[in-house]
Amino acid sequence: MARNQWGICKGQKNSVTSKLAYIHKEKDLSYIFLFGYPYASGREEILILRVKELDMEIVFHNALEELRALADLDNDGHAELIVRNDPELHDVTATGNIGTYSPYIVYNLANFAIDQMLTEKYNKEHYIWEGIKYNDKLQVLYPKNSSRPKLIKTK
């Protein structure tokens, strides 16, 4: 399933043929992701179910930032969910776009809580780190060559 369908399983095989559902299997449990209708500004809502043996429980049911990846970031055998709101871009330069600070957020699927340590680590490796909250006062250069963004100034 490609990223433009729902964002997190590029290169991963889906067990169902649907753009509105994805099944992620781990050793002893599975997660079922069900997606609301996609709009230009994001998905209507997302429902995540955890299935273990004969038990099923709702892990999450609400709107969520744009899903970016599902990966085992801490090598514990369980995937984490990486989400992010797209930054607001407001200026174009010869080297890239200038926009707001919008960090990636990493959720632990076991309890669907933000993992502060992995969130900071992921942003330091793939983006920049200026805290967990979106901040329109921080200006970031998003290079045209897809290299890592850089903090350029504050308002």
What are the pLDDT digits (tens) for 111-148?
A: 899 999 999 999 999 999 999 999 999 999 999 998 99
**Residues 7-55 pLDDT 10s:** 555 566 777 877 788 899 998 999 999 887 766 655 568 899 999 999 9
Q: Per the domain annotation, does 60 fall within a domain?
A: yes
Q: Per the domain annotation, does 62 fall within a domain?
A: yes
Q: Per the domain annotation, does 127 fall within a domain?
A: yes
Provide the pLDDT for residue 29. 92
Q: Per the domain annotation, does 8 fall within a domain?
A: yes
User: Could you list the residue range(s) of the whole structural domain that residue 31 is in?
Assistant: 3-87+103-131
Among candidate residues 49, 79, 80, 83, the one with its CA nearest the CA of residue 64: 83
**Number of domains into which the chain is organized:** 1
CA dihedral of 16, 30, 85, 148, whole degrees rounded to 10:
-100
Q: Per the domain annotation, does 121 fall within a domain?
A: yes
Q: Per the domain annotation, does 126 fall within a domain?
A: yes
- Structure tokens that stand for 50 in this block: 């955890």
Q: Per the domain annotation, does 72 fall within a domain?
A: yes
Give DSSP secondary structure letters for 7-32.
SS-TT---SS--SSEEEEE-SS-EEE
Q: Per the domain annotation, does 98 fall within a domain?
A: no
CA 127/CA 150 separation, integer angstroms: 8
- Structure tokens that stand for 64 in this block: 């969520």
Residue type (1 letter), 138: L
CA dihedral of 12, 25, 75, 104, whole degrees rounded to 10:
60
Number of neighbouring beta carbons within 10 Å of residue 66? 16
Global pTM reads 0.84
3-state SS assignment for residue 119? helix
3-state SS assignment for residue 116? helix
